[in-house]
Amino acid sequence: MSMKIRSVDLEKVIGITSQVPVMETKEIAFAGRSNVGKSSLINALMNRKNYARTSERPGKTQTINYYRINKGCTEEEFAPDCYLVDLPGYGFAKTALSEKEKWGGMIENYLHHSENLRTVFLLVDIRHEPNEHDCMMHDWILANGMDPVIIATKKDKINRSQVTKNLNIIRSKLKVKDGTPVLAFSALSKEGLDEIWKVIKDA
């Protein structure tokens, strides 16, 4: 199953000093370290190559970007009318400390004030153990009363035999609550996209 996309629009971009806007329909947010693949996943969902701009260099997305999909669309075979919200990546080593604090503040502010936020996907790289930034992000999401769905990205970069083991490491390092989904995804093969759509539809 791949959901049909009728329209895609980068409706709003907000910077560090902006107030979190009240949007007119439900929001699904994507958080995670710089370079983990947030914009790539959003492109896969929107069925576009590079509408959400991606980069090999970390620190590409430095604003909160609201992508409206299927505005006004209610037909069953289409993806639901919602915002896919691309959050700035954290943990980018080359960023000055003051910038890092601003980003953290911005993400926390978003989690706290977005009235229509239904689901937060927390992305981590399937190859690596989550670090302290990932654990902090996970804690912020829980502290704001949300139950995250964890997505382990870049599944194509590891051997199939490693997948379960790595998902378990991610689960235990983040101290994921029982019942919280931890899904593997590849933006290259699109493996895992159906499960992600299911979460968005049910949100």
Residues binding ligand GTP (CB under 6 A): 32, 34-40, 54-56, 58-61, 89, 153-154, 156-157, 186-188
Alpha-carbon gap, residue 176 to 76, rounded angstroms? 32
**Residue with smaller CB distance to ligand GTP, 8 or 187:** 187
Q: Residue 165 binds what, of ligand GTP, Mg ion, none (CB under 5 to 8 Å, by partner type)?
A: none
**Residue with smaller CB distance to ligand GTP, 10 or 188:** 188
Residue with tokens 């599944």: 155
- The residues near 101 (Cβ < 8 Å, ≥ 6 apart) are none
Shortest spacing between CB 35 and ligand GTP, in angstroms: 4
- Give the number of C-alpha atoms closer than 13 A to the C-alpha of residue 101, restricted to the C-beta side: 3
Q: Residue 202 binds what, of Mg ion, ligand GTP, none (CB under 5 to 8 Å, by partner type)?
A: none
Per-residue binder mask for Mg ion (CB under 5 A), 55-84, x = binder: -----xx-----------------------
Shortest spacing between CB 152 and ligand GTP, in angstroms: 10
Tokens for 173? 């390092």
**Residue with smaller CB distance to ligand GTP, 38 or 68:** 38
CA-CA distances (angstroms) from residue 19 to 64, 66, 91, 112?
A: 11, 14, 23, 12
Answer for the pair 146, 117: CB distance below 8 angstroms, yes or no: yes
